[in-house]
Chain A
Amino acid sequence: MNNTGLLVVDKVCKSYPLPGGGRLTAAEDVSFGVAPGGSLGIVGESGSGKTTVARMLVGLVRPDSGTVTVGGTARAARTPGRRTARLARAREIQMVFQDPYLSLDPRLTAGQCLRTALRLHGKEEALAGELLERVGLGEREARARPRQLSGGQRQRLAIARALAVDPRVLVLDEAVAALDVSIQAQILALLDEIRREAGVALVFVSHDLAVVQHITDDVLVMRRGRVVEQGPTARVLSEPSDPYTRLLLAAVPREGWDPDDAVAARSALVEATG
Chain B
Amino acid sequence: MKLLRVSPSPHMRSAKTTASVMRDVIIALSPALIWAVYVFGFRALTVTLLSVAACVGAEALFCYITKRRQTISDLSAVVTGLILAFNLPVTVPLWLPVIGGAFAIMVVKMLFGGIGKNFLNPALAARVFLFLSFPSFMAGSFAAPDAARGLSPFALSIGLDGVSSPTVLSSIESGVDKRVLVDMFYGNIGGCIGEVSKLCLLLGLLYLLVRRVITWHIPVTYLVSFFLLCFMFPRGDDEALSFALASLLSGGVMLGAVFMATDYATSPLTATGKLIYGVGCGGLTVFFRYFSSYPEGASFAILIMNTFVYYIDRWTQPRRFGGGKHAGK
The answer to whether A binds B is: no
Chain B residues close to A by CB (< 8 Å): none
